[in-house]
Amino acid sequence: MSSPSTRISRRESIQWMLAASAVLAGHDAPLTGADPAIAAKGYGPDPSMVKIYQPGDVWPLTLDEAQRDTVRALCDLILPADETSPSASVVGVPDFIDEWISSPYPAQAGDRRTLLDGLKWIEDAARQRFRKPFAELSVAEQTQLCEGIASLKPKPELKKAAAFFKRFRDLTAGGYYTTPEGMKAIGYVGNVPTATFDGPPPEALRHVGLA
Amino acid sequence: MPVLQADQLQDRYDVIIVGSGAGGGQTAYALTMEGVKVLVLEAGRSFDPATEVAMFQLPSQAPLRGERTPDKPYGFHDCSIQSGWEIPGEPYTNAHAQPERQFNWWRQRMMGGRTNHWGRISLRNGPYDFKPRQRWGQGFDWPISYDDLAPYYDKVERLIGVFGTNEGIENSPDSSPGVLLPAPKLRVGELYAQKHGRKVGARVVSIHRAVLTKPQDADTLPALLHPDNPGAQQLLAEHMRSRAPCFWATDCHRGCSIRANYDSQTVHLRPALATGNLDILPNAMVSEVTIDASGKATGVLFIDKTTGREGRARGRVVVLAAGSQESVRLLLNSKSNRFPQGLANSSGKVGKYLTDSVSSSLSAHIPAFEGMPVHNEDGAGGPHAYVPWTRHGENRRMGLGFPGGYHLEFTSGRQMPSLGVVSGIDTLAASDSVLFGRRLREEARRFYGSRLGFGAQGTMLPNDQCYAELDPEVKDQWGIPVLRFHWQWSDFELNQVRNQQRHIGELLESLGGRLLKPPADDPLKAIRPGGAVIHEVGGAIMGEAPETSVTNAWSQTWDVKNLFLADGAPFASTADKNPTLTLMALAWRMADHLMAELKRQNL
């Protein structure tokens, strides 16, 4: 347990996670209670719809630098760059996550708690396991930490951490695929005016047995 | 200066119209093109579709990726402002606490009203829809038949521009030859459902929507719409030439700055203003219809929202087109010694017989769509196809347990990704862990666009448990008493939703679909709440007799002959068709009658 080897087995990893999770459970309540209340206002019922907004334009972002480092690293672990597409942090997904959990609207309040607790959890886990902040770990180490909580049927002790990871993944992917680069990556090629609408191309029709 | 401030009103108008949406817009258009002097009052602010609609903006350019919030209940880029089921300062109440007995009331406080953000689906009611009692032994027959309204359907479709095909389907009427614009080609999902849905009796055809698929015929249509009126013809021709056809991109709910789709302001109010016969007063919240000693309407009282001051507008005729329930509220609030129950309410029927579309939905993952070759299927910014109701034989004597029927609308395709674009991806990919990294990228691309769903919208006949009345205590921020709703689904609606769920389920399975959740056994778990579809109509229904209805067959109130209704309030029932096109056809027919009566000095 004290060796920072990155070659521990999946089973060991999960066991370690369980231990870390038990430690976390002890100071769970103060973590949640320490969140600064979101005092900002929303954009109201008549915002300019044509304006191009950046996260932070309407309400202030609230993550501190350390939290943003963790968010950035997690975003890029979830969607790293590949041969044709940039990584999540390059297209501003961490800013979006910060905007989301800093939202004054009630629908995001639950995510705020989940993400702030989860970020703390993963940071604690990184320091306990590797004695470094999560953002300074190698990709292999980050992967190892996250594989333990990337479970759809987590053990009871890991439920909260797993719920965090799932939600963080969904927000990261949603934040990513709603950018121009993300749309290209997923295969959305619309939003361009054309003179005609010609219907599906032959290869699409063949794909579903219609041609 | 046709868009006015409250202190610039003329002393008297021929006709005062309350509301600038589909009904108010159509009425103002029909009247002003024929020389009638009109004032339209709108409770919301002026809104410029040319500069204020967000057509190409991406979710990443909006707060929260454009997701819904209490301030923008349809999402950030949806063309609605000051709109929602809950508007600060403008409450309403429900008489019953149970969730299934809530009615949700959408208001859209902006120039053009709800026409700014609708799906542009423009289906005609069929002959049976006007005669539910004759057909199914339930509800009330309308005092008009399909044949009475058919010419006006043609006129409205020619004016606003509607694409579609004539399919000869029982009770889903064809338009007259040459009226419809060409239908766009169907998308993969629509074609796939067309082929495989036949196995379960679903017939997929082109839908009718108010979107220009080619330029309007400005050389021919104006003369058909305004015979013997060269001035109107010329204005309309210019107006039609200023509308561009669809450029096959962007969701119609965002509005359309190139004027390819219909909204009231773009298609109705713009040419109406150009006649010089129309004044529009925005930010005017009408509180009461005023009457004289003889019981005739003399105009309206309104609150100027920019100053909080009360104002008055005078006219020879008053037309209410405020949205069915807002018009009901106005009538009930217009109390006097002569009309102690509210205006035009000697029958006690004002507020009664509120109906809405009966709606539920299901969706599925279609394995055949996985890994689809990348292509652009934005198309006409909304559905190109639908499944009309064709099971009339089975339901001749309510063999299915409910009157009427329902049509199915598609949600499908490679639409612009939104925040939830990968939802459910781990299950789809049969992964036992939350996907991330390279595998997430691969699976996101593979499953994108592979979902297909259907939403049903069906007939609702009036019942005694669905109505609006004034709340005895609650008032809005201007001191105007608010509505209190009563709502209760009857067995007919619940039976219909059971049928919808089963049918959609078998249809999706006929496409090889894996349902995201099974059809609901309990219809109350599947039915969309009252008002959620934003198709509410009724409350001042038309009928054959003053004792049982609020208006005659011309949407003219029985009690006050110079008071008319031009929104959904006169609907005696909800068909399995969306109400907007019928509402406009009724409004145009009403306007023709109104002008004839004005000429005869009968008003």
In one-letter notation, the amino acid at residue B341 is Q
Q: Please indicate if any CB of chain B lies within 8 Å of the CB of A204.
A: yes
Closest chain B C-alpha to A71 CA, distance in angstroms = 15
- The pLDDT-based confidence of A39 (bands split at 50, 70, 90) is confident
The pTM is what?
Answer: 0.94
Compute CA B419 distance to the chain's CA centroid, rounded to the nearest angstrom.
Answer: 27
| C-beta of residue B450 within 8 angstroms of C-beta of residue B369 | yes
| C-beta of residue B584 within 8 angstroms of C-beta of residue B157 | no
Reference B564, options B548, B550, B544; nearest CA is B550
Contacts of A175 in chain B (CB under 8 A): 60, 65, 419
Q: If DSSP codes are grouped into helix, strand and coil, which group holds residue B110?
A: strand
Q: Which of residues 2-41 of A touch B (CB under 8 A)?
A: none
Yes or no, beta carbons of B71 and A43 under 8 Å apart? yes
| B113-125 confidence digits (pLDDT tens) | 999 989 999 999 9
| A128-184 confidence digits (pLDDT tens) | 999 999 999 999 999 999 999 999 999 999 999 999 999 999 999 999 999 999 999
Yes or no, beta carbons of B376 and A190 under 8 Å apart? yes
Separation between Cα atoms, residue B341 and residue B354, nearest integer Å: 18
B58, B441, B445: which to substitute to probe chain A, counting the most A Cβ within 10 Å? B441
DSSP B433: B
On the 0-12 / 13-18 / 19+ scale of CB atoms within 10 A, B308 is exposed
| A8-35 confidence digits (pLDDT tens) | 444 444 454 544 444 444 333 333 334 4
Domain range annotation of chain A: 10-207
| B20-74 confidence digits (pLDDT tens) | 999 999 999 999 999 999 999 999 999 999 999 999 999 999 999 999 999 999 9
The residue whose two tokens read 């394995």 is B367
* Predicted pLDDT at A67: 98
Closest chain A C-alpha to B275 CA, distance in angstroms = 31
Nearest to A79 among B433, B441, B449 (CB): B441
| A98-131 confidence digits (pLDDT tens) | 999 999 999 999 999 999 999 999 999 999 999 9
Contacts of A200 in chain B (CB under 8 A): 185, 187-188, 191, 375, 377
- The pLDDT-based confidence of A37 (bands split at 50, 70, 90) is low
The residue whose two tokens read 């963080």 is A168
Reference A28, options A167, A109, A98, A124; nearest CA is A124
Yes or no, beta carbons of B65 and A53 under 8 Å apart? no
The residue whose two tokens read 């759809």 is A152
Closest chain B C-alpha to A110 CA, distance in angstroms = 14
Yes or no, beta carbons of B436 and A79 under 8 Å apart? yes
- Edge-to-edge, what's the strand order for the sheet holding B467-475? B93-94, B481-486, B467-475
Comparing alpha-carbon positions, the chain A residue that sits nearest to B186 is A199
Across chain A, mean pLDDT equals 87
Q: Where are the alpha helices (DSSP H) in B555-603?
A: 580-599
Separation between Cα atoms, residue A161 and residue A118, nearest integer Å: 6
| C-beta of residue B551 within 8 angstroms of C-beta of residue B541 | yes
Terminal CA-CA length for chain B = 29
Q: Please indicate if any CB of chain B lies within 8 Å of the CB of A118.
A: no
Contacts of A75 in chain B (CB under 8 A): none
Q: If DSSP codes are grouped into helix, strand and coil, which group holds residue B470?
A: strand
Domains by residue range for chain B, with CATH:
1-118+144-164+246-354+466-474+534-603 (3.50.50.60)
Residues in chain B: 603
Contacts of B54 in chain A (CB under 8 A): 49-50
Comparing alpha-carbon positions, the chain A residue that sits nearest to B424 is A170
| C-beta of residue B203 within 8 angstroms of C-beta of residue B185 | no
- Which residues lie closer than 8 Å to B578 by C-beta, 6 or more apart? B119, B121, B122, B123, B357, B457, B535
DSSP B114: G
* Predicted pLDDT at A36: 57
Contacts of B385 in chain A (CB under 8 A): none
Terminal CA-CA length for chain A = 59
**Which positions of chain B have pLDDT values less than 70?**
1
Closest chain A C-alpha to B188 CA, distance in angstroms = 6
Give buried/exposed letters for A181-206 (b at 16+ CB in 10 A, else e). bbbebbbbebbeeeeebebbbeebbe
Separation between Cα atoms, residue B445 and residue B268, nearest integer Å: 43
> Does the interface ipTM go beyond 0.85?
yes
